[in-house]
Structure 1
Amino acid sequence: MLERSTDASLATAVRVVRTAALMVLGGLVLAACTAVPVSARKDGPREPLAVKSRQEAMDWMTQVLGHVRQTAGGQRSTAMPTYGYFTCRGADVAAPADPYVLSYAGRLDVPDDQRVEVIRKVRDALGGEGLKISDYQESSAGTPSAVPTASFRADDDRDHHTVLLESAEPGKGVNIAVSTPCLKPPAGAASPTPTTTG
């Protein structure tokens, strides 16, 4: 009986930690969701949507994240990432047969004194690859934060995916969010279970 009680307590604790992580990273997921181009969101899709299964979108997302991680110097996140399939109009969870945006929010483990340098490096690399860089901000150590911070947004006009990076709280590295454009699942496609890839 004691083992069951301990298992139940552990399961409850895991749910609480997971919920807290979702709340902390949820802001990035919502920001990534709203980064879908207006032409694909306002009043629904206006142009034909690319057909991609959720598994294909997840595989693509894994490649994008691997590229950003490699560009950042191979930094790996120890924070629990958050994935979600959302409607193309906002933050509601998309039903398996509905058009969707796949969004990811997580962290890269980067020392505070290297965060701005890493964010600049990723910004420059993505800009050099043809992504449109916007909303770049940087603060020095003498401003409201105790350590230098930076953030930017990169939009790919070719396939409409978005990458966001920003300094997290001191000691917590760099927040990263990525979102796909609005995609249409093929008829009868099954949904994959998101895996933790950091």
Structure 2
Amino acid sequence: MAKSVKRTLDTLAQVFPDKKPELERYNLVALYAVIAELQRAYAIADVLPQLRDWFLDFEARRRAQDVMDADTAEAEWVSYKEKISHSTDAQDSIRARLDFLMRDLLSSFPNLPLKDKQREFTHLQKMAIFRRDQQTCQVKIKCDGVRVVWDNWHCDHKDPWSKAGPTTVENGQVACPACNLSKGAQVPVA
């Protein structure tokens, strides 16, 4: 859990490298939840630079709605204003804000790829990959294609899971531990 909290905070620091006046306590909690949700379910590496602009635009639209009277403003924005004005730390308030922010974000990034819900290869998938690759490291960053044994190898995603690479036999490959650990989430060069 501490790793995921740190990863989310690090991502927020990437998206907002300098202080912005729009980052207030009421929206920072919800923004943290948005980033955590995105990291959990979506491949976001390619849109990180644009998330800051989306959020600043969101806040500009929120401020424009705030100056309207309740009869003129859109109902969802009125509800959002209530959630950020009262009990901002309540679980239902944070959930409502997260849902509203996620709907808005996904409307702005309609093609954001979902990560495969299954990250780990099954035993049968691993066996198929191990046999197909003839027990030989395919990554070849730290070795020249060393032959591995069943108890000492990694089943690696060719296209990284964190970048929406599926957990399939086709996208799997044998990697010796040294190569896999040095590879990280790099996309293979063809």
TM-score of the aligned structures, taking structure 1 as reference length: 0.23
Q: Which has more strand, going by share of residues? A: 1
RCO (CA 8 Å, sep 6+): is it higher in 1 or 2?
1
TM-score of the aligned structures, taking structure 2 as reference length: 0.24
Pair member with larger Rg:
2
